[in-house]
Amino acid sequence: MRALFVFLSLAVSFASFADDEDFIGKWTLRISAAGIAAYEGLLEIEKHDDGLRAWVENGPAPVKVHGNQIEVTIDSRDRQGFKFYRVLEGRLDKGEIAGVIRTADILESAAENGEDGSPWTAVRSVDAKSRGGNHALRDFDGTWVGIRGVDIRKYTMDLTDKAHEWLTAYDARMDEPQKRCVSPGLVAATTWIFPFELIVSEERNRLTMLYEAFGLSRRVHMNQTEMPEFYPESSMGYSQGRLENGELIIETTLLAASTRDFNGEPVGDSTRVEERYFLTNDGNRLNLVMYMHDPENYNRPPIRRRAWDRNDEALIFPFECDPDSFFRQLFSEGRMQEYIDRSYMRP
């Protein structure tokens, strides 16, 4: 009887122990913070000669594994652009990972939602082939107001050497476009929380998107197979769209060089942006997953997420921005020549 007890105890012990191989693969990450929509993201873990490596939203995330315990560190930014860290401590059990977040000991700024102790989970990722439901193109028409949460706001991505060199030279005080009232570009503007209006013109085979942010607008040419021969690069680029299984897919090229976000990571002029919009079943929430394909600057395409609630009573306000305030400050600090000398950082 004693031998049987020892055997069963060992069996339980081995059953609860996980191997590194059990963590390898793609996981759908979900962080639940109080009072807001859950943050979602892609966690990918690979085995390399130096051990396990992890990426969150295709940005590097240091990972430690011991038995069935895992720790993933995610550098993120708050809504003001300040950097902070989420340390996800969890346990693998029956093919799923669950745990809590620790942030207090390595903060550079306070996590905006008081996330310490918030739960997180990760389940094996599967391709979302039917998330668009049965929605028609006209269902996307309306005014959409951004909600908090959804996007993890991963701070740093998997940069190439060229992009590292750019980022090292970047000075947000001098080079950030929105500081001088210049369009921040498609990647940044589309994922800000400002509301926007989406106008569907099926008879013209076109969508028009009007953003409160910087008063930007764009046209999406639906079901188009050819590009115009002489179309200039711009901050919002040239967009072509299609409806596929209820999901609105937009691909944008001819983007002028810009920056991805507050951090200053570059958007090259050969970038292709893929946006995938899908509605909830009731049609009242619009979700976006954005992939930025720029192999000159990123080893893996950065991923961003955003969600908006339908509110056709919402107003799109004028966006006021005074560039003179930026230049007056530089002049008063005696830094105008420095700004001029850095023109190579403002393509």
Torsion of CA 131, 227, 238, 342, to 10 degrees: 130
At 252, is the secondary structure helix, strand, or coil?
Answer: strand
pLDDT at 6: 43
- Domains of the chain in sequence order: 22-124 (2.40.128.120), 137-323+328-332 (2.40.128.20)
Calpha distance 77→262 (Å, rounded): 9
Least confident span in 139-143, 150-154, 334-338 = 150-154
For residues 214-242, average pLDDT: 93
pLDDT at 35: 67
Report residue 204: phi and psi, to 5°: -100, 0
Confidence band, pLDDT 50/70/90 cuts, at residue 9: very low
67, 23 Cβ separation under 8 angstroms: no
pLDDT at 18: 60
pLDDT tops 70 at residue 152: yes
Confidence band, pLDDT 50/70/90 cuts, at residue 129: low
pLDDT tops 60 at residue 144: yes
pLDDT at 12: 44
> What average pLDDT is seen over the chain?
88
Distances 9 to 3, 74, 91, 92 between C-alpha atoms, Å: 10, 36, 20, 20
In which region does residue 181 sit, left (phi positive, over 0), alpha (psi from -120 to 50) or beta (all else)? left
- Of 193, 196, 189, the residue nearest 144 (C-alpha): 196
pLDDT at 134: 86
pLDDT higher at 166 or 102: 166
Report residue 296: phi and psi, to 5°: -70, -25
Residue showing tokens 């340390």: 87
Residue showing tokens 């950097």: 83
Per residue in 60-75, pLDDT tens? 999 999 999 999 999 9
At 187, is the secondary structure helix, strand, or coil?
Answer: helix
pLDDT at 306: 94
Calpha distance 267→296 (Å, rounded): 9
* Lookup: tokens for 200: 């569907």
* Lookup: tokens for 196: 């926007």
153, 290 Cβ separation under 8 angstroms: no
Distances 343 to 177, 234, 311 between C-alpha atoms, Å: 12, 18, 41
pLDDT at 318: 92
pLDDT at 130: 60
Confidence band, pLDDT 50/70/90 cuts, at residue 7: very low
DSSP-H helix ranges across the chain: 2-15, 161-169, 172-175, 186-191, 323-332, 336-341
The pTM (predicted TM-score) of the whole model is 0.89
pLDDT at 19: 72
- What amino acid occupies position 83? K
Per residue in 24-65, pLDDT tens? 999 999 998 766 778 899 999 999 988 899 999 999 999 999
Per residue in 243-299, pLDDT tens? 999 999 999 999 999 998 878 899 998 999 999 999 999 999 999 999 999 999 999
For residues 204-208, average pLDDT: 94
- How many CB atoms are located within 10 Å of the residue 80 CB? 8
Confidence band, pLDDT 50/70/90 cuts, at residue 10: very low
